[in-house]
């Protein structure tokens, strides 16, 4: 977990896996299992869906991959593919989300003449 200096939130890099499983009795299972994995990849590549209704809290997925998977819940009889991706989560509250009044004047000063004791040393940069 990294600290995001620009807004106060923590950045959590994560890796996700979706396991696609079909019975080998599924007609055209070799094609259908790949279609199943492709449908997940289409969602991951769709900008309107790939943040899971958490825009601003989750990054776009990256390193999206699909490959055959091993699946054996105590018996054979299944075909499986795995879809994996990386996605970052922004944890905590942003320091920029408040109900205060945005500043209308931007002031500037030079260190070490900064802070409240030096409020008269600041100069107007913009209004």
Is 48 among the domain residues? yes
pLDDT 10s digits, 56-92: 899 999 999 999 998 876 668 899 999 999 999 999 8
What stretches of the chain adopt beta strand conformation (E)? Answer: 2-3, 10-23, 62-68, 78-91, 106-108, 123-126
Residue 96 inside a domain? The answer is no
For residue 65, the model assigns a pLDDT of: 98
Query: Quick check: is 76 in a domain?
Result: yes
In a domain, 127, yes or no: no
Q: What's the total number of domains in the chain?
A: 1
115: in domain = no
Whole-number Cα distances in Å, 119 to 94, 103, 111, 125, 127: 27, 16, 12, 14, 17
Which residue is listed with tokens 């105590």?
A: 74
Q: pLDDT at position 105, please? A: 87
Mean pLDDT of the chain: 89
List Cβ neighbours of 32 (8 Å cut-off, separation of 6 or more).
Answer: 22, 26
**118 in a domain, yes or no?**
no
Question: Does any domain span residue 103?
Answer: no
Q: Is residue 111 part of a domain?
A: no
| Residue 48 domain boundaries | 2-91
Q: Please, which pLDDT band fits residue 23 given cuts at 50, 70 and 90?
A: very high
């Amino acid at each position: 977990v990294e600290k995001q200096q620009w807004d106060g939130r923590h950045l959590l890099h994560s890796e996700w896996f979706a396991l696609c499983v079909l019975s080998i009795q599924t007609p055209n299972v070799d094609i259908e299992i790949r279609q199943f994995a492709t449908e997940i990849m289409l969602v991951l590549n769709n900008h309107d869906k790939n943040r899971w209704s958490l825009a601003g809290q989750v990054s776009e997925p990256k390193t999206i991959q699909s490959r055959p998977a091993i699946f054996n819940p105590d018996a054979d009889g299944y075909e499986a593919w795995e879809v994996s991706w990386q996605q970052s989560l922004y944890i905590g509250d942003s320091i920029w989300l408040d109900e205060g009044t945005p500043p209308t004047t931007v002031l500037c000063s030079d260190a070490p003449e900064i802070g409240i004791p030096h409020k008269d040393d600041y100069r107007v940069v913009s209004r």
